[in-house]
Structure 1
Amino acid sequence: MVTVHTLLAIATVYNWSLVQPDVKNAFLLRDLVEEVYMTLPPSFHTKGESKSKADYSLFTSSNGASFIALLVYVDGILIASNDSHVVDDLKLLLDTKFKLKDMGQLRYFLGLVVTRSPKGISLCQHKYALEILQDAGFLGAKPAAFPMEQNLKLSKDSGILLAGPTIFRRLIGRLLYPTITRPDLTFYVHWLKQYMDKPREPHLQAAYHILQYVKSTPRHGLFFPADSSFQIKAFTNSNWTSWPDTHKSTTGYCVFLGDSLVSWKSKKQQTISRSSAKAEYRSMATTICEIVWLLSLVSYFRVSHSNSAHLFCDNIATLHIAANPVFHENTKHMELDYHQFELGFLRHFMFVLNINLLMYLLKL
């Protein structure tokens, strides 16, 4: 989905046309029991097409000033191009092979409602949100202003075990999909996902509270402005020992392509950090991996990113470690792979410390 976000963010700036063909017979065949070996046809690369190494479902082709990108997911196809004639030729070619149904301009793709205007492109999942509310019986529920109560403490042993855990598991499973356009839900849904093994009553009540928040914000989503730049900016943070059961920390980051939010994550760290600086350091390393991959991805869209990517962090000790790997007292217990990663990649990026942002965060 990061590839989808990135493609739409670039398409709205370059004013590319976005069309959506659909394969008619994708699910009409019976289940295969034989082993099937597939390879690209011999003539696939004769016209300059190339498969992205950053995402194998993305195919691009350039011919002079013309550019076209093809993004495929099962039977969903998204085509972006600056040349409408090239798009027509590609649709005719694909129709002879797979029998396509032309859905016209992009409006609904993989459950995402796409709305385009001269100001940019907006994504939301209000149709899916209403389906979740209806399925859970929360269409008439009281809306909530926040996805979860402040200072709420949850653990694997608090509360009464649910007699039927299927309700909780089904609800969390359905709430995972809206997180691809709702970064405000990501942390809370992934938090509750940790308790799907043996869910308890407080976990279910917290999930219901998220539904009440969705009820008040069904049309919230992403917006990719048309007047944006292609400067990559990332913000990273960590929540030290935020998991009471394991004492592990949480990594959180968001990556912007200009003014468009294209990638974000909230994930429990694999190891236990002995200080907040170490947790922040690991969070920075994870964010750098995402930046490196995103730089590779945007290159396939003929986007030149000549400037340094900016990574913002509000932990002074972590910034000292990134600038000076021989900060012995704070790094002697860190794993070797993090230091090797930093020596290999941090030298290629200029970390810009926004003093105003830092002072503001310190005041908070």
Structure 2
Amino acid sequence: MNQLEEKLQFKRGLTLKNRIVIAPMTTKMSFFDGVVTNDEIAYYASRSGEAGAFITAAANVHEGGKGWDGELGVYDDRFIPGLAKLASAIKKNGTKAILQIFHGGRMTDSKVLQGVQPVAPSAVPAERPNAETPRALEEVEIYEILDGFKKATERAIKAGFDGVELHGANTYLIQQFFSPHSNRRTDDWGGSLEKRFKFINELVDGVTSVVDQSGVKDFIVGYRFSPEEYEEPGIRLSDTLYLVDQLANKPLDYLHLSSNDYTKVSISEDFKDKPILAYIKETINERLPLIVAGDIRTKQDVEGALQTADLVAVGRSILIDPHWTQKILDDQESLIRTELSQYDREDLRISNGVWGFLQLMMPERLK
């Protein structure tokens, strides 16, 4: 079992001081145009300094990829000064700053995009209420988006981040290319499992090449993924194990399993013998470190996850108690705040977006 106080060094040299990572969580705290706000910087700063790394909320790499209002932008050089302030706020007491980059694909709407129709691999709407039918991307647009990820990585380097995380989870565009539900293409970008992997293959190779050719030291690249979809057809664990096997051979620094429960068992009958996490770790076979997220609340949860994973990503617990990490490290679990009220919001920098997330995901801990 990995010990939570142990350091971890990635392939590209970056070292984390412990095995706890703050998970990427949507805050909706940026300005309408994607520029970082002072409130947002204060939110990150108040929760940094204790964990090994802090992964930011998703930053969109293309104007057409904006998923919601209040989202970080990284699709233009004008965002670099604000992102530099954000990176600096996170990087205190040795905590590393990782910028998560993404494109929303069909998981947005024309209101957020100010009248522009969302785009996706195919013209298939998401299975959610009031979902709009997206426009299928032209091949030239696919390459433009791939280039957007590379340029976003260059901006993250210039802003002083310690790495980027490719957000291939939670049904956004990267995952949409891999999913048989959202990708019905008949060209080189869709169809077979191998062709549905093409976008991810090009993306990872492009972003890692940018980093390796930049000359930057100790800058890492990670990839976050969701293991299964409930849509039919949809991604199944067998597809994901193929994806993980391919990615583990890439010049990435880590993989990040996105889950709401690190002990979750697959929906597929062929994979019921052990948790999804165990199948993923077995497939990686020590080629890359693995981060796992999923309802981590106690030291026992951390130690349980670290029996398999190399790093643990904590989200909601740190929203409620910004000093959760240090209290876990110091064996002061009895001092951890476990509930929130409206009166705590100002002190804890809880925005309307974060409060709405907490109301949806953990209403039992609000009072």
* TM-score in same-fold range (> 0.5): no
Q: Which has the higher strand share?
A: 1
> TM-score, length-normalised on structure 2?
0.24
Computing the radius of gyration over CA atoms, which structure comes out larger, 1 or 2?
1
TM-score when scaled to structure 1?
Answer: 0.24
